[in-house]
Amino acid sequence: MFEPTQQTSCKQGIKTVIVLVVLLAVASTESTFAQAEAMHWKFGERAGLDFTSGVPSPTRSALVHLEGSASYSDSNGNLLFYTDGFQAWQRNDTLMPSIQYQMRDSIGAQPLHSTTQQALIAPSPYNPARFIVFNPGNSTSYFPENTIKNFDWFAEVRYHPSWFEVDMSGNGGMGYTGMQAIDTAGMPEFSEKVTGTLDCDGFGYWIVMRERNGPRFFSYNAEGLNVSYPPVISEAGTYSGSDTSNLGAMKISPDGKWLAMARGWSEPGEVQLFEFNTTDGKVRNGFTLQPVTPNDEYRYYGVAFSDDSKMLYVTAGPNLLQYDLTLPTKEEIAQSGFLVKTEFSVPLGNLGSLQLGPDKKLYVPLVNSEFVGVIHYPRRRFDGCQFDVLGVQLLPGTRAWYGLPNFMDHIFAPEETVQECLSAQAAFLFDDACVGECIEYEDVSVNAPEE
């Protein structure tokens, strides 16, 4: 109920709108960093892809990794470095020298290499030679020992996030790590997810991580080499389950308006879709997408959007699922799941993470194989997307596992994409009333001004 403090007439049936605060700014999401930064991929067991010719060509790398990695190329598409979130390799596949950064966590344990999205690279908008590498930490030791031959495993589990700097101006242009390295043991324990996007002014990034065994999101604003603290915290969505429910990827759509998150492996999980705000870094209004086939909720892992942000793809074991985000209601979106078919009548194995490429196609590794699948037309509904599970064959002696490089997908957005930078607008709608009368009103506020 609301009591008016001023009223010049007592006409009934006339709607009045009171707007308390209005401030609007609009900025283009067209990044100063072109898609060239995603021209070289390094992932899996010494595997790689080179997109510089316009089509992906298989290459090699020094990386031996079960899950997440990240790589970065310059504005001309030349590889600069790649990383597993703990260490970085030069473009010639040798380890970068490290300055002031020991790759050990706060309890003195060697890092356990088993994180869905183990790395995300944020370039400095002010210095093209400097970068921050984010690592959300490890939240489970689910994968068995010696999954990959000669792969080192340790009993300790590392939950806390960390980040370190890569400076390409040193070491004869080959780069080194360190300087800004931070061990963030005082932060909350996080799950295996990290994603990011440009903030609305286009000069910084929102780096978003998800709480381990809980419903909160933590958004850090990174501009240059500065990372905001404390982070913006959003409590959104639901959570239930144990450590294995922390597995699975998280992605912000290329237009910066959606955030999708998958979780669940050996017990029921879910895929949730949220609204994301690039002005304040908040995650809001989450809802759960409905499974498509039996047992999907036990196998959710990868998520990714089409470049126009209108379709969402999810991997669930051997299944590829598609959801239509153009539908008018959350209920319709949640129930729009479709099982994308392949050319093969028998399952070939599990599918891993999903990632957009510079060619606007989506890529997904076929786990423990020499193939990376291709979704040729991600914007198209149903089987029109044309999924080829054996799309790219890797080089002999290399292998795909669960991960592909993790990029911030705003770099793949169409050039005409525009992102609105909106502040809170508190407003309410009511029938005109006389002074001293109580009235009922409708809240028509936008951008959550109550926060």
Query: Residue 8: which residues within 8 A CB-CB, separation 6 or more?
Result: none
Give CA–CA dist 241/75, Å, rounded.
43
Asked if 348 and 373 touch (Cβ cutoff 8 Å), the reply is no
| Predicted local distance difference test score (pLDDT) of residue 407 | 98
| Predicted local distance difference test score (pLDDT) of residue 422 | 59
Asked if 363 and 373 touch (Cβ cutoff 8 Å), the reply is yes
| Predicted local distance difference test score (pLDDT) of residue 294 | 84
DSSP state of 384: G
With residues binned 3-state (H G I as helix, E B as strand, rest as coil), the percentages for the chain, rounded to 5, are 5, 40, 55
Helix (H) or strand (E) segment spanning residue 331: helix 330-334
How far is the first Cα of the chain from the last one, in angstroms, to the nearest whole number? 20
Give CA–CA dist 207/220, Å, rounded.
5
Which domains, from first to last, does the chain contain?
1-20+423-451 (no CATH), 24-419 (2.130.10.10)
Max intra-chain CA distance, the chain:
82
| Nearest Cα to Cα of residue 408 among 162, 113, 217, 123 | 123
| Predicted local distance difference test score (pLDDT) of residue 359 | 97
Q: Is residue 269 exposed (0-12), middle (13-18) or buried (19+ Cβ within 10 Å)?
A: buried
| Predicted local distance difference test score (pLDDT) of residue 8 | 37
| Predicted local distance difference test score (pLDDT) of residue 314 | 97
| Predicted local distance difference test score (pLDDT) of residue 229 | 81
Mean pLDDT, contiguous 10-residue spans, the chain (451 residues): 37 42 40 75 97 97 93 97 92 84 40 77 92 79 42 47 87 81 62 94 92 89 86 85 76 98 80 97 96 86 97 95 98 98 69 97 96 97 96 97 97 77 55 63 54 51
- Written as six digits, the tokens of 27 are 């900025």
| Predicted local distance difference test score (pLDDT) of residue 1 | 37
| Predicted local distance difference test score (pLDDT) of residue 7 | 37
DSSP state of 69: B
CA distances from 85 to 88, 120, 132, 144, 194 (A): 8, 7, 10, 21, 11
Q: Is 383 helix (H, G, I), strand (E, B) or coil?
A: helix
| Predicted local distance difference test score (pLDDT) of residue 417 | 67
| Predicted local distance difference test score (pLDDT) of residue 110 | 40
Give CA–CA dist 147/245, Å, rounded.
20
| Predicted local distance difference test score (pLDDT) of residue 333 | 98
- Written as six digits, the tokens of 143 are 């994968």
- Written as six digits, the tokens of 323 are 């959801």
Is the CA virtual torsion 194, 381, 31, 353 positive or negative?
positive
b/e per residue, 349-386, with b = 16+ CB within 10 A?
ebbbbbbbbbbbbbbbbbbbbbbbbbbeebeeeeeebe
Q: Is residue 68 exposed (0-12), middle (13-18) or buried (19+ Cβ within 10 Å)?
A: buried
